[in-house]
Amino acid sequence: MSQTRYTKDHEYVRVDGDIGIVGISDHAQTQLGDVVFVELPKVGVKFAKGAAAAVVESVKAASDVYTPVSGEVIEVNGAVEAQPGLINEDALSKGWLMKIRLADAGEVDGLMDETAYQAFLATLA
């Protein structure tokens, strides 16, 4: 069973077993505006939780994407490199950035679930 968790920096990780699918939240893509470029990490690179792993550029700004969990990149979404607008169309599904083999599944417990994330977003308004 997969679960989606969020960071205060608006990244998400959707966990299924020991694999986490990482991307930016719908809120983040809305704030960025039209995404025009994505730079993804190389497969095999290992990141500590909170490390800058990718870059998403929009017509407004460039933004680092931080890994919500520690682990090794096992796959990147080449479709978003070819069509960065996929992030705007569907950030939580087609617009994912990378898949990470989790180094410590317990790190997920420290992230916000959907309810907590929505409550957090409400404090930003």
pLDDT one-digit tens code per residue, 41-69? 999 999 999 999 999 999 989 999 999 99
- Structure confidence at residue 3 (pLDDT): 87
pLDDT tens digit sequence for 55-110: 999 998 999 999 999 999 999 999 999 999 999 999 999 999 999 999 999 999 99
CB proximity list for 78: less than 8 A, separation 6 or greater:
none
Give the amino acid at 81: E
- Structure confidence at residue 2 (pLDDT): 62
> Which CATH number is 3-118 given?
2.40.50.100
